[in-house]
Amino acid sequence: MASFREMSLPMQLVAGFVVAVLVLGVGYYLVLKPMIEENATAQSALDKQKAQNESLRIFKAKLPELEANIASLKQQLEIQKKIVPDEKEADQFMHMMQDTAQAAGVEVRRYTAKGVNTHDFYSELPFELDIDGPYYSVLNFFERTSKLERIINISGMKMATPKRSSDAGVKAKYEYSPDESVLAGITATTFFSHEPPPPAAAPGKGAAPAAGTPVKK
């Protein structure tokens, strides 16, 4: 095989071109291609970061509105808790009724708590009350009660005069002032919210039957 120097000029040019192509090819795969791939990866990460920054910029612009909505929801939640508390708060209920009666000029003679009626998301807590006072004061008491923040339902109302207290369901005897012309026995029901009870767990496979459960033979 002839050496490079012994080749004709055209053959030397062809051989040089082939060598140059091989060198460029090897350089591309060993140097340029990894750099191009690395740059492409970096550009992709940069584009993602720019998109994330843009979304955060939009969120930042809406942040005051979001904070205002959260504050409004918290305020609504506090109002709802006043309307339907998340605890019984029986003492607070009695104080509320006593303050309402005093403002209306009515005497509350008796509070008797009845059994709690539980529903899925709320419970009812009824109280029996004996009240008395001037006729218009008693009416004012009911009107004030209807306007309280906390929901209170009045039911089972029986009214009578002091001389016929049993007609109102008032069993105890009290000393009435001359202007106390009306007695009333009522049931005042308040409400409080609670989480629904968890679903009953399904018995495991092969679990022993509960006590008292008949066993098929």
What's residue 98's pLDDT? 92
- The alpha carbon of residue 92 and the mean position of all alpha carbons in its chain are separated, in whole angstroms, by 23
- Give 45-83 pLDDT, tens digit per residue: 888 888 887 777 776 777 777 677 666 656 655 655 555
CB atoms within 10 A of CB 31: 10
* Phi, psi dihedrals of residue 47, rounded to the nearest 5°: -65, -40
Q: Which fold has domain 90-193?
A: Alpha-Beta Plaits (3.30.70)
pLDDT tens digits for 145-175? 999 888 889 999 999 998 888 888 888 888 8
The model's pTM: 0.53
Q: Hey, what are 89's tokens?
A: 């708060």
In the chain, where the domains are located: 8-83, 90-193
Look up residue 23 and give its two tokens.
Answer: 């060198």
Q: What is the DSSP annotation of 132-152?
A: EE-HHHHHHHHHHHHTSSS-E
Q: Which amino acid is at 115?
A: G
